Chain A
Amino acid sequence: MKLYFKYVGMLLRSQMQYKASFFMTAVGQFLISFTTFLSMVFMFSRFNSVKGFIFSEILICFSVVLMAFSITECFFRGFDVFPRLIKSGELDRILVRPRNEMFQVLASDMDLSRIGRLLQAVVMLIYAFITCDIHWTGYKIITVVLMILGGVAVFTGLFVLFAAFSFFTIEGLEFMNIFTDGSREFGKYPVSIYGEGMLKFYTFVVPIALFQYYPFLYLIGKSENMWYMLLPLLGFAFIIPCYAFFRYGLRKYKSTGS
């Protein structure tokens, strides 16, 4: 843990060398998700609700997903840029150091400019909580926390999976965007609006419904099932197979000729 903070310290010092770039990128990040937000506002100015959810409820869902995604992107960036680590040979360096590979990949990069997105998610969430009439209880506060944590876990799993695939194909990686960027993009609405089939897909295959749909139903009072509150914890289990696949890929790793 101490070593991780050392790494973070180094990264911060490196990034501070490029303040202007950092600032611009953060603003850009903000703008990207802000346009998504705007398009939702536009849609809801034509239609008042979708599948029984009103705008402020949808906004809770969107901000939880965005928050989880930007936290993951910020701290697990090493997996996001993993193909670059392979290409540049940095992975070779990681492998000749006496520490766990996952840890080193994790510590190798951090992108604080994602704070632009995170900030927006926080503002949206606060706004949504004010405009939405949720009957707050202690359980519901826990639910919100668990939703965010579970979201980080699921996205982390997806990022690790993405990194694992880059051992086998670099060019073909684009298809993983369906799961990573796609989950962020389409997770802005409760996944049930895409139909029964997609709900099943997002429950059992790419389990984002575990943190953005079921506990969300409990949160806004559409369901009384208390178990839904705990479902995000299952998101942590999702990391296990992803990690196993990463280990498998590492054994097949063939480095780049130098």
Chain B
Amino acid sequence: MKTDNTAKGRTKRIRMNGYLTAGLIITGFFVLLGIIGMFWTPYSTTAMSASEKFAAPSLAHLMGTDNFGRDILSRVMKGLGTTVMVGVLVVLVSGTAGLVIGALTGYFGGIVDEVIMRINDALNSFPSILMALVVVSILGTGSRNVIIALSIVFIPSFVRVVRSEYMRCRNADYITNARLMGVSRIRIMFVHILPNIMSTFLVAVTVGFNNAILAESGLSYLGIGVQPPDASLGKMLSDAQGYLFKAPWYAVFPGLTIVLFVLGFSLIGEGIQRNNRR
């Protein structure tokens, strides 16, 4: 049989590229650090020591100590654990909700779509950090409430991405074909369409994860997020503010951790996107 091989092969294998590799290494390092931090830290995160106040970075304290003489590395590790947990849970909850709502509105369209999208627009018209502030002030502070607040706030952005992808796919010939076969609507939505929008959705997830981390840090910085004595990167930054010149490492290391962590995730997102474009 004669075949022409002009059609470009599209394999399912995930292709690595520079962005993806660098992103995975950076993120992997910090996630590992955070997970270790949940079970073990070099020093106790709450043990204070008056004699070691504001100790500069040294072999004993790699990142130095803070205003109570606590080891900053240990607290960064602990804080990372909190941050990763908040990020993962927020993305899990809002991503799933966004996927389901977006799939329904995008696939069915019509009046349901109109109503949900207008609610979505209303939610979107407030800055997300402000919305989170409102929710937290109603529910109270603490990491559980931060997760609930951020999950609600992040749903609209997921809905928007998923909806537009479903609208793109729902008129494709292969979906019409599936309808003609008598495949149920739910199965079309989540078995036939979902894998085709997965790469776009993953990019949205990386962006959402980043935003969740930054928002959590922001809320903790404002003092309404994670409460002491729990460590959080945002809270550490806000505490370090007063000692910026006296002990710059206090602000630098938690700040650097947030920046690198977010950078790593952005690189992963960029890497996925570049793979899609090819």
Is B one of A's binding partners? no
- Chain A residues packing against B (C-beta within 8 Å): none
